Amino acid sequence: MPFNDRAAAGRRLAEALARYRGQAPAVLALPRGGVPVAAEVARALRAPLDLILVRKIGVPRQAELAMGAVANGQNPVVVRNEDIIRYGGISEAEFEAVRDMELGEIERRRRQYLGGRARIAVSGRAVIVIDDGIATGASMRTALRALRSQQPRELVLAVPVAAKDTIAELRGEADTIVCLETPAWFEAVGAFYRDFRQVTDAEVIAILAQHTGDSPSIE
């Protein structure tokens, strides 16, 4: 069943995550599309809203096809999709060039979205990681691995919709997975939303501004 928009999907996801209310979880969104979804969850759970900054490493001249992903931090975490790299005949130099470009974009977004806000403390708490949907899973896998290294008490992957095979592949990356829809046929995340307009930087900044009293931010 399609979701009306990301906010509606977030409200439905919040219902499925209701058991975390009162456990002081942290809600981390993958920008930009995950932010409106996560905002609804954070509001319902009375939890802090924050960001995990991950960028898809797209195939040259076919940027929507992920050959990997990178999460920035003190030491960048890179996940490679070796099948796509081999299929596309991507050289190591080509991979590294796109990776470095995306690291630059992560730094730009960090400054724009988060400014000088300190990172949230992840260790020892339940952390709920949210996006608006998952196709290949490269970005989410990178986010989960980056957060796992910070030793949360429980690492929760929560999304409105994801490819069935991808969710199966991610089960080893999270302690708990909450996914509302796992259709056997999956072409693109946007196919499951009536309104899937692009989320702008300004919208992300505005949403975060509504949660400035909740928590600082994470790279």
Task: Note whether 126 and 217 are within 8 A (CB).
Answer: no
Establish if 214 belongs to a structural domain.
no
Residue-wise pLDDT tens digits, 23-75: 999 999 999 999 999 999 999 999 999 999 998 899 998 887 889 989 976 67
Residue-wise pLDDT tens digits, 78-126: 989 899 999 999 999 999 999 999 999 988 888 899 877 767 778 999 9
Domain that holds residue 130: 6-53+114-209
> From CA 61, how far away is CA 46, in angstroms rounded?
42
Cis preceding-peptide flag for 117 (omega within 30 of 0): no
Task: Note whether 58 and 48 are within 8 A (CB).
Answer: no
Residues 73 and 177 in one domain: no
**pTM for this model (two decimals):** 0.85
Length of the chain: 219
Residues 90 and 133 in one domain: no
Residues 122 and 192 in one domain: yes
The CA dihedral of 19, 20, 21, 26, to the nearest 10 degrees, is: -160
Residues 127 and 193 in one domain: yes
Residues 127 and 145 in one domain: yes
Residues 203 and 153 in one domain: yes
Residue-wise pLDDT tens digits, 118-160: 677 789 999 999 999 999 888 899 999 999 988 999 999 999 9
Establish if 105 belongs to a structural domain.
yes
HSE (side-chain half, CA atoms, 13 Å) at 134: 32
Report the SS3 class of residue 97: helix
**How far apart, in Å, are the Cα atoms of 154 and each of 52, 80, 86, 176?**
16, 25, 34, 8
